[in-house]
Amino acid sequence: MNSVDTALCDLQMQRSARAHGCVLNVAFNLQTVQLANAQLTSTLNSLLAEQASSGSGLTFELTESGLPEAPATSLETLVRLRMMGCRLSIDDFGAGFSSLQRLCQLPFNEIKLDADFIHNLAHEPRCRAAISSTLALGEALGMSVVIEGIETAAQRRELLALGCTQGQGYWYARPMAGVDLLNWLQRRNHGKGTDE
């Protein structure tokens, strides 16, 4: 299945979730070579029109390590995606080598902090400081911060105490097929979720 087919399947699942009263943001990993594709935004516009969806329900994730490789022409694609209402996320933040200057230059509106920080939170005080600093940086830059790799209730409590409002990881749910995800969303939407 190519990336267009994958995007179409995900948008169809998003539309099904919406029909059942569930809001579902769909995130896609975006490779540097895809970002340089001049047809990316026009193809995406066509898919969104087909599925009666808007860009606001999509997040495109680009790894921090891929940012230095991104040619200057890719900035135009990033700006177009933002103009379409899409969210742009720097994935695995803290694991790569990009500078804070690059973070300020590119039109991202979300930072996904690498899971290694949460895995070492309990026994490494510097990880707590890095998480707190990233949360403060995100707030100062007007960017949301998502903490990756939350696996336990204790980790979730610690992150809430630090001011984290968004996270992902096995504590919330394991990866699942689209049909299972729709069922899981419906159960949560009807008050039967366990991660409130």
Strand partners, 26: 58
Coil, strand or helix at 177: coil
Strand partners, 110: 89, 144
- Burial label for 138, CB within 10 Å (0-12, 13-18, 19+), is buried
* Active site residues per annotation: 148
The answer to whether 184 and 16 are in contact (CB under 8 A) is no
Joined together, the tokens standing for residue 151 give 């696996």
